[in-house]
Copies of this chain bind each other. A is one copy, B any other.
Amino acid sequence: MRDTPYKQLEARFNRVSLISQARGFLHWDQSTMMPPGGAESRAEQLAALQAVEHGILTDPRTADLIAEAREGKADLDPWQQANLEEMTRLWTHASALDEKLVTQLSRAASECEMVWRKARPAGDFPMVLPRLRRLLELIRQAAEATGEHLGLDPYDALLDAYEPGVRTAGIDAVFADLEAFLPGFLAQVMERQKTAPAVVRPEGTFPAETQRALGLKLMETVGFDFDHGRLDISLHPFCGGTPDDVRITTRYNEADFTSSLIGVLHETGHALYDRGLPKMWRGQPVGDARGMAVHESQSLLIEMQVCRSRAFLEFAAPLMREAFGASGPAWEADNLYRLYTWVEPGLIRVNADEVTYPAHVILRYRLEKQLIEGGMEVGDLPEAWNEGMKALLGTVPTTDAGGCLQDIHWYDGAWGYFPTYTLGAIMAAQFFDAAKQADAAIGPGIAKGDFAPLMAWLRQNVHGQGSRFPSGDLLVQATGRPLDAEVFKAHLSRRYLEGE
């Protein structure tokens, strides 16, 4: 007997998933292992795999099967129905773009990124402007085409690719809330910091091997499964691989161990999400991570909510002292806590603290929305950037290297991605708050390095849900409330005004 249309779709999407997994490992290899001379052929291998995936998704037979399967949707169980919804969504996104535009976009992004790599250190925005203009033109074409297919405005169509279901209207509301709250709050925090004891930086040489050993130990504490994952080195830290083989990276600065260590814990949060995705649905769209905002919520939950907390640092401080054979005021838990929660407005997003980070995201969100909607010319970006920085954080970069050239996203084609950072931070606060309310053992567990209660809650309420629900529904089911900034603001107040 012939498989049902739904079963045939499962086979097709499983193949797409497996090829995409292969692509994931080639990306990981490119960032961690590949010798420089492999770059050109690697780009071709990746493009070929992507073309095969696009070919399966846009094959006319896939469209037929989706139509047929949707007619029989009532016969499917709830997970299958959700899977069919995700298949439909992926198919809609893929079929909105013809192969020519996909290829042009991929090439324009590679070319723009290559020029950006030189323009950034030189602070030379005009150098990259022609490439960026061309790339943006193609991104706008793609956003319009996708928007038409989905019945969305172009910018919402871009957002939907990173975090399905998230729309400008929802973002505007929470960002307005944050923008009203943060300036006054920041002033209070800065005032309070003036009277606090000075932060003492641990000094010394911290060998990469020792940093690595400590990182591995804390990864294990949090719950990383080394039978199904690795820790390696790359220039830009990331989490890659697949749920059964999750690979995170870091880089070591031998003069300062603190940034690598917290980065490793951040990536561990991403890794635990991937590892906890529903095993029954491996290789199917409904078994994938929900989106980039939920993904970031899991890394920030581990990094910001848990590992920068006083309770965790009291547990971790002796391990740090032991690892480096160090002692003294810099190594006391209270000092490490103040170091890891120090607030200071700056120019660079990736160095920003938890309090000022949203301002960096809000700036990028507004600018990219205007550029996509056509309300601004891309040549005016540096000026608009600097004005925005002045208004939001009261500081202006001296060159574009510290301004609109600092992040790779726009230059390699990731438009509509930035909001997921702050949405993730807000969700992280909501998830962690709900988890602690649901299980009183979570807080005391963390204080003694026992993450099992927290993981049990996350597995059940977030990781194990895969893509079964849109992130808005996932959040309501797990926490009892929709996305809003209240819990995040309360967390900031407790940590930065009360020192909790």
Which residues of A approach B to under 8 Å, CB–CB?
14-15, 18-19, 21-23, 25-26, 29, 33-38, 40-42, 44-45, 47-49, 51-52, 225-230, 241-245, 282-283
Contact = CB atoms under 8 A, between A and B. Distances in A.
Nearest to A23: B22
A230 B33 CA distance: 8
Nearest to A51: B15
Contacts of A229: 35, 37
A228 B34 CA distance: 8
A486 to B, nearest CB: 40
A37 B51 CA distance: 29
15 contacts: A19-B45, A19-B48, A22-B48, A25-B25, A25-B45, A33-B33, A33-B230, A34-B245, A36-B227, A37-B225, A37-B228, A37-B229, A37-B244, A41-B245, A44-B283
Nearest to A19: B48
Nearest to A49: B22
Contact of A41 (B34, B41, B47, B244): B244
A29 B48 CA distance: 19
A32 to B, nearest CB: 9
A332 to B, nearest CB: 36
A21 B37 contact: no
Contact of A227 (B29, B37, B225): B37
Task: Rank and list the top 6 A-B pairs by shortest CB-CB distance, nearest first.
Answer: A38-B245, A37-B228, A18-B48, A37-B227, A41-B244, A22-B45
Contacts of A23: 22
Given A25-B25, A35-B229, A41-B243, 15 more contacts: A15-B51, A15-B52, A18-B44, A18-B47, A21-B41, A22-B23, A22-B48, A25-B45, A34-B245, A35-B227, A37-B225, A38-B228, A38-B241, A38-B245, A42-B245
A243 to B, nearest CB: 8
A492 B228 CA distance: 49
A20 to B, nearest CB: 9
Contact of A49 (B14, B19, B51, B228): B19
Contacts of A225: 37
Contacts of A41: 21, 242-245, 282
A106 to B, nearest CB: 14
Contacts of A241: 38
B38 A244 contact: yes
